[in-house]
Amino acid sequence: MMISVYRAAALSTALVLGIGASAVPGQAQDCRSIADPARRLACYDQQQGAPAATPAPAAGPARPEPDHAALREAKAPEPAALKSGFRSTIAGISPKSFGLYELRLADGSVWSTTTSGGERPAVGDAVTYRRSMLGAHFFDIKGRRSVTVRRER
């Protein structure tokens, strides 16, 4: 019984599509036979309906070009210690989500760890900053594994 319902649905769909498909090519063929492009377009517009006219985009004020030199000067200079490395002690620790921490050093700088795992550093731990050849920042903490960090301020 179910197969006959599906066959009936498929047959009726084929009939509807077959009738619709045969009506459209005959109409479209009439327009294709017109040699003049403007008249051919008018024929298609008459059959399908003319498209809605879209307004031309309004010309807004021109955006000024950025002053790249001023942007480079406005960027905060990197302290010389970050280029050569430094040693400090942890003055404060604030836990963040997913096992990450915010570390405040004795010199007042604030760093966030970007890797989790291992033992939690403690206040008073000595840290040695180093930078990899590719620019990653690391804190080496004695007795613990190195952690990658990002300078916050």
Looking at residue 82, its pLDDT comes to: 63
Backbone φ, ψ for residue 109 (5° rounding): -75, 150
Looking at residue 21, its pLDDT comes to: 44
The neighbour count for residue 5, using CB atoms within 10 Å, is: 9
Which pair of structure tokens corresponds to residue 34?
């017109």
Show pLDDT as tens, one digit a residue, over the chain (153 residues). 555 666 666 656 655 555 444 445 555 558 888 889 888 888 888 888 777 777 666 666 777 777 766 666 655 556 655 666 788 888 988 888 888 888 898 888 898 888 877 777 888 888 888 888 777 888 888 777 788 888 888
CB 95 within 8 A of CB 143: no
pTM of the entire structure?
0.45
Looking at residue 14, its pLDDT comes to: 56
Q: How far apart are CA 42 and CA 25, in angstroms?
A: 17
Looking at residue 23, its pLDDT comes to: 46
Looking at residue 43, its pLDDT comes to: 87
CB 100 within 8 A of CB 113: yes
